[in-house]
Amino acid sequence: MGQRMDAPAARMLRDGSQVVIRPLAEHDWSTLLRFGRTLPQDDMLYLEDDLQSPEIITRLVNASAAENWRQLVAVDWDDQIVGYAAVRRLAGWSNHVGEILLIIGPAWRRRGLGMVLARAASDAALSLGVAKVVVEIMAEQVGGHAIFERLGFAVEARFSAHARDRHGACHDLHVLARHLQ
């Protein structure tokens, strides 16, 4: 198993703005909740964990050192969270597989941050010791497809009408995967 990524890493985005990528920490409770409250309702559907719920935020920050989970944040100059990514080892017979989540604050999109944080999450998967990483993306989420395909992921499964948006409309869901070993 590799090392956990604990050292904060500064990154310059293509518009010149700076962020730091670091592990989520217990002291991030209020800034993670603030970040969650900036997310559009449609994006919230994508998340298994409701980042607008104080109870969920408590669960996430309490798990910041969990063995089977790497949670990363991108923070701005004021240590405010502007992006969140996680990779979690699945349970049972898929415990060699890690699932990635990625979400960027609306004001920070299209600057290259999604790519930066996705790469950091993929690297973090190595420290979990998993052999394969997957990410679930609705067919229409072109940004997510572009990011993970650039990182070497390929669509491995398509589920029809498997995701529902907040208006009740169904969308196809793609599972993208990358084999690490």
Ligand X SMILES: CC(C)(COP(=O)(O)OP(=O)(O)OC[C@H]1O[C@@H](n2cnc3c(N)ncnc32)[C@H](O)[C@@H]1OP(=O)(O)O)[C@@H](O)C(=O)NCCC(=O)NCCS
Q: How far is the CB of 44 from ligand X (least distance, A)?
A: 9
d(CA 73, CA 65): 14
Bridge partners, 11 (sequence order): 19
| CA angle, 1 then 20 then 114, to 5° | 80
86 within 8 A of 51, measured Cβ to Cβ:
no
Phi, psi of 69 (to 5 degrees): -150, 130
Taking CB under 6 A as the rule, does residue 19 contact ligand X? no
Minimum distance from residue 147 beta carbon to ligand X (Å): 5
Which residues neighbour 134 within 8 Å (Cβ) at sequence distance 6 or greater?
97, 98, 99, 100, 156, 175, 176, 177, 178
Q: Assign 171 to helix, strand or coil.
A: strand
Nearer to ligand X, 65 or 141 (CB): 141
Instruction: Note whether 60 binds ligand X by CB under 6 A.
Output: no
**Residues whose CB falls within 8 Å of the CB of residue 80, separated by 6 or more in sequence, listed in order:** 31, 34, 35
Residue 172 interacts with ligand X (CB under 6 A)?
no
One of 123, 143, 155, 171 touching ligand X (CB under 6 A): 143
Return the number of the residue (17 or 65) whose C-beta is nearest ligand X. 17
Q: Rule CB under 6 A: choose which of 51, 73, 128, 137 binds ligand X.
A: 137
Whole-number minimum distance, CB 112 to ligand X, in Å?
5
Binding window for ligand X (CB under 6 A); candidates: 30-38, 68-76, 103-111, 161-169: 103-111
Binding-site member from 57, 103, 133, 163 for ligand X (CB under 6 A) = 103
Interface ranges with ligand X (CB under 6 A): 43, 46, 102-104, 109-115, 135, 137, 141-144, 146-147
